[in-house]
Structure 1
Amino acid sequence: MRRAFLLICLLILSACGAPSSDPGGRTTIGDRDPVNFRGRAPSSFAVRGIDVARFQKKVDWARARKAGVEFAFIKATEGGDLRDPMFRTHWRGAQRAGVRRGAYHFYYFCTPPEVQARWFIRTVPKTAGALPPVLDMEWNPFSPTCQRRPTGQIVRGEMRVFLEMVERHYGQKPIIYTTPGFYDDAGLGAFSDYEFWLRTTAKTPREAYPGQSWRFWQYTATGILPGTPGDVDINVFNGSRDFWESWLSQRAR
């Protein structure tokens, strides 16, 4: 009877998307609301990671690393004066656990790009081995202070200013993060000389961004990690494990 009861409990936890375990008993990354993607599934990619911000109040980085988290993008700044209150904590925690880390900036359409780039540079240390910096470009219709929605031409011009300033400082070409709607509205396909980190939680990147190459895919916002309360964004790297190591050696100086 006890054995049957335990089996039922395990089945219920599995159905709810709780973290699964590998054959050695190690807890791995889970998903509270998984999607059955048409095409190549996220689970088929060799390297996975997370992105975090102030919403993740506590991350057990050591357990996350053991669960299979190999990289993390950490929110550092927004606009020209907002520093994510959890940035320093996450930045240090990831480093101590051996998780490869990079910082991202959430773009604000009512502050000049030069001001935003300088704020990011002031906040994020120039650290050997860090992943390339990331520019997060998406519409924010819920902003209480900025309702500006520039044309695609203006957006791309402002992005170039930010990206070039940041690249000069860190010595690495930044990555562009975006969503399907913003990508189309702003014509971000014009940035063929940059690598992309793409958000799409219902379709594969091939379906959501036809013809666009990509390096990272944010495939869920309902990820589950051991020792980390609440939902977490989970991402995959587009490439084999060997290519991941090669990419790190070329980009993360």
Structure 2
Amino acid sequence: MLKRLSPYLLFATVLLVGFTALGYWLVSTGRWTPANPSEAAYPIRGIDVSRHQGTINWDAVAASGVDFVYMKATEGGDWTDPEFVGNWNEAGRVGLARGVYHFFTFCRDADEQAAHALATQPPEAELPFVVDVEYGGNCEGFESVEHVRASLDRFMDIVTDSIGYDPAIYAVHSSYPDFIEGRYLGSPLWLQHVLWKPSAEGDRTWSIWQYSVTGTVPGIEGPVDLNVFNGDSTAFAAFQVSP
């Protein structure tokens, strides 16, 4: 026979569920940022943007203290972000260090993706090219993790041969162990974690930490991703692929 929950246990359960729901709402709406790296520890601050941020006032962004910006340029084998060219030109005009990222699609041929990404990559990019590897927003029903790994290997080889250095990799906590952990050891890491500082396996370190996906920055209406660089201005200068 099932025992009835005591009033105290029932109250504690309801309270726990309520606090969990409240915490989720606060984080998802940007009202609470659990991971909030200090400017003293991480003085180089950045954002990443795409068409979802709409028209951006880049003068206001630069005046707010942002140092660098990554922009979504391409996805799959034929899609280009419609805001990319405008964002690229305007961010360059106000003097921000710029980089691009390609959203790697699990169900698209690696050669097609590499060709499309490379054709869109501006030669004057200051920051390393990034490949974004994550489950969120990706295709469903892909063949297997092993197949995606092989496809990503092919993509990385083509891009590395073309640009002359190992591309950086963006990953979240769910995609990192499946596709990145123990692999691409020459590639800088851009890791997301909104609760605490990210970590990689062994003595491997990260270069960029995306600590919020619901941040606010002057000049941008609505939420924007916030990032910090792992180092000072000297390290950041060394991280760049062109001055």
TM-score normalised over the length of structure 1: 0.77
The residue that corresponds to 1:131 in the other structure is 127
Shift of 1:103: 0.7
Q: Could you tell me which runs of 5 or more consecutive residues in structure 2 were left unpaired when the two chains were aligned.
A: 1-25
- 1:138 maps to a residue whose letter is E
Q: Are residues 1:78 and 2:83 paired? A: no
Match of 2:44 among 47, 58, 61: 47
Shift of 1:94: 0.7
In 1, the alpha carbon distance for the partners of 2:165 and 2:99 equals 11
In 2, the alpha carbon distance for the partners of 1:79 and 1:42 equals 36
Q: Is the 8 A contact 1:174 1:194 kept in 2?
A: yes
Shift of 1:55: 0.3
In 2, the alpha carbon distance for the partners of 1:95 and 1:59 equals 13
In 1, the alpha carbon distance for the partners of 2:54 and 2:78 equals 21
The residue that corresponds to 2:151 in the other structure is 158
Alignment of 1:161-240 (within 5 A): 161-206=154-199, 209-211=200-202, 212-240=204-232
Describe the SS at the equivalent of 2:151: helix
The residue that corresponds to 1:241 in the other structure is 233
**Highest Rg: 1 or 2?**
2
- 1:77 maps to a residue whose letter is T
The residue that corresponds to 1:100 in the other structure is 97
Describe the SS at the equivalent of 2:222: strand
Please list the CA deviations of residues 73-92 of structure 1 after superposition, one character each: whole Å capped at 9, or x if unmatched.
10011100111111101111
TM-score normalised over the length of structure 2: 0.80
Q: Is the 8 A contact 1:152 1:187 kept in 2?
A: no
The residue that corresponds to 2:242 in the other structure is 252
Shift of 1:235: 0.4
Percent identity of equivalent pairs: 34
Q: Could you tell me which runs of 5 or more consecutive residues in structure 1 were left unpaired when the two chains were aligned.
A: 1-16, 18-30
Please list the CA deviations of residues 183-241 of structure 1 after superposition, one character each: whole Å capped at 9, or x if unmatched.
122353322221110011112103xx454411000000111111211111010000112
